[in-house]
Chains A and B, each alone.
Chain A
Amino acid sequence: MDGRIHKFNLNNRNIVLDINSGAVHVVDDVVYHILDYYSTRSLEEIIDLLKDRFDGNTIKEAYDEIKILIDNGVLYSEETSTMNKIKYNEDNVVKALCLHVAHDCNLRCKYCFASQGDFKGDRSLMNLEVGKRALEFLVENSANRRNLEVDFFGGEPLMNFELVKELVYYGRELENKSNKHFRFTITTNGLLLDDEKIDFINEHMDNVVMSLDGRKEINDNMRKTVSGQGSYDVILPKFKALIEKRGDKDYYIRGTFTSYNLDFSKDALDFYEKGFKKISIEPVVTEPDEEYALREEHIETILAEYESFSKDYIEIKKKDKDFLFFHFMIDLDQGPCIAKRVTGCGAGAEYMAVTPEGDLYPCHQFVGDENFKIGNVFSGIEKDELREEFKEANVLNKDECRSCWARYYCSGGCHANAYNTNRDIMKPYKIGCEMEKKRIECAISILANLLE
């Protein structure tokens, strides 16, 4: 029974999560302590065990309340027996593509998983034929899904902006013909932004992800121009100009943290001071032997950093509800269905990346590794077994995830991280798991604080 709940104390709240129902309770100390023994001891034994801390009557009352929750199916609830009947993407729908419109970049960020934009291949730009075909491929493979997503990615997509524009217009044409809706997004380093591009992006992109690393010195140490200069001073004003004209449309300013800035909450707060409200700071994804890689010896510091940031976050959030840190957002009531929760990111199944040549990969992180080439937009999916492997890589099938309390929030972690560290997409990346679990705890404790 103990594997059915997860409890923790954070930000002055005792929180109890009922893993299988998704219910969340904030409880008094007495309940919190009773739960240590509830499944193995009788009420009399518990009264005796806790007699120095709580009087017998209080324990009895709290014990009865626990029983009520159990009867209502929101505590110690069982995993539903139909769980293994969840079918995932049986008809092989593809609903999202990451278009690598430019395998080239005008920055030389040290941690770039794309090897400075060229993904270990030749520098190249996607042409219109490939781009159009990619959108058609998406429409053709999306069955009855209406909402389709296309992210313009690179390298640096602004280096091929004419194509981006053409594809947005072509997408609008396809929408009319096929009763689909495209959500376009773009992920950019901002260097080539000008007024015209900003206006186009603000008009047509449902979301824009702006890459920058927070504090100037942190950014400039990792994100260099081609001539080796820091990029911060050139880029910051452009991103500011973009969000000033963005209205209430979505955006994220997105930083990366490495072993050089384990105090990354300072980077998030620096963004906030500069006027950005929707912030995401992501752990670097890289091979473990890089100097800037996050290693097990860093875990403790990172987890403490998330906790201390969650305290600042609560304070800011009380004054400014628009402040958002991507990993502290959680939706306990309107969140996704269980099918989504067990199947995760969809890489290699409903989500794929397209290279300038039109080759398909399970996701942007796998591009460039020939073993993971799954097909081509002209010839379709060629490696069905690879797609099946990715479809099978979900929380219901991964050993670690099966018994992990966070499985319905995390949904199984990032395959690329798993592959980079363990050469196996079925074996989650341990550091990633530790971070993810801490972020979920932070997010729930934030909510518990803000609800009052």
Chain B
Amino acid sequence: MKYIKTISGSNMKDTILKGGCGECQTSCQSACKTSCTVGNQKCENR
């Protein structure tokens, strides 16, 4: 591609099939205790 660079092609929709395994960290426990951000968390199941 000449005009577009895809930095993440990951398709979140694929994960819907698996459902949540629930093993990942609870977001509020990690650093903040006052906010809810999940975009920066790691999946434990890959």
Contacts and interface: CB of A to CB of B under 8 A. Distances in A.
A326 B25 CA distance: 14
Interface in A1-60: 20-28, 30-31
A330 B9 contact: no
Interface of B: 1-13, 15-16, 18-46
Interface of A: 20-28, 30-31, 61-62, 65-66, 68-69, 72-74, 77, 80, 82-83, 86-89, 93, 95-96, 98, 145-147, 149, 151, 153, 183, 185, 187, 207, 209, 252, 254, 278, 280, 282-283, 285, 326-327, 329-341, 343-347, 350-351, 363-365, 408-414, 416-417, 432, 436, 439-440, 443, 447-448, 451
B36 A26 contact: no
A334 B42 contact: yes
Given A350-B22, A351-B26, A364 B33 contact: yes
Contacts of B35: 282-283, 327, 413-414, 417, 432, 436
A335 B39 contact: yes
Given A340-B24, A344-B27, A65 B43 contact: no
A305 B13 CA distance: 34
B29 A185 contact: yes
A351 B29 contact: yes
B1 A65 contact: yes
Contacts of B31: 207, 209, 252, 254, 278, 280, 326
Nearest to B27: A345
A414 B34 contact: yes
Given A93-B22, A149-B26, A332-B10, A340 B38 contact: yes
B3 A410 contact: no
B10 A333 contact: yes
B19 A87 contact: yes
Contacts of B36: 344-345, 410-414
B5 to A, nearest CB: 5
A331 B26 CA distance: 16
Given A77-B13, A326-B30, A350-B22, 16 more contacts: A21-B13, A23-B6, A28-B4, A31-B4, A62-B2, A74-B9, A147-B23, A252-B30, A333-B8, A337-B43, A340-B38, A341-B38, A345-B28, A409-B38, A409-B39, A412-B36
